[in-house]
Structure 1
């Protein structure tokens, strides 16, 4: 059974560390996924599979929220530039969606691996 408290706390760690990690692009996001997955796996405990699952959920949620924030930022920038900017941001929508999916997958995979480590440490 999924421990949603562990997933939510892991998601919060991914989000907070990811925001702080914007200072160091790329590395900060990787650390955010690892930290959130570790926390979710540690809190869930109960074996490696359970840690994997909870880390995966925490990282996926963090990646989805990150992708949505990127989409909102580009949409607002397009609105600020007027009709031409709207057309540009609309055309960039496909790329933004692909970037959001890629970010979500990377965060989910690294968080799942960190969740396994967290579960192993907690047991």
Structure 2
């Protein structure tokens, strides 16, 4: 059974560290995914598989929200440039979707591995 409290806390930790980590692009987000997944796995406990699952959920939720924010930012930028900007923004939508999926996958996988470590430490 999924412990949604652990997933939510891991997501919040990853989000807060990710926002603070904007000072160090890339490294800050990597650390955010790792720490958030570790927290989710640690709180869920119960073995490696359970830690993997909870870290995966926390990381994929964070990656999805991050990808959505990138999409909204590009959409707003396109709207401010008028009809031509809207067309460019629409064409870039496919690339934004691919970037959002890639961000979600990377954050989910690193968080899942950190969740396994967190579950192992809690046991």
TM surpasses 0.5: yes
Q: State the partner residue of 2:55.
A: 55
**Mapping of 1:6-85 within 5 angstroms?**
6-85=6-85
Q: CA RMSD in A?
A: 0.5
Task: Please give the TM-score of this superposition, normalised by the length of structure 1.
Answer: 0.98
In structure 2, list runs of 5 or more residues that go unmatched. none
In structure 1, list runs of 5 or more residues that go unmatched. none
Equivalences, count: 123
24-33 vs 64-73, greater mean Cα deviation? 24-33
Aligned-partner Cα distance in 1 for 2:60–2:78: 27
Q: State the partner residue of 2:111.
A: 111
How big is the shift at 1:24?
A: 1.0
Task: Please give the TM-score of this superposition, normalised by the length of structure 2.
Answer: 0.98
Aligned-partner Cα distance in 1 for 2:122–2:2: 17
39-48 vs 22-31, greater mean Cα deviation? 22-31
How big is the shift at 1:26?
A: 0.8
- Counterpart of 1:107 in 2: which secondary structure? helix
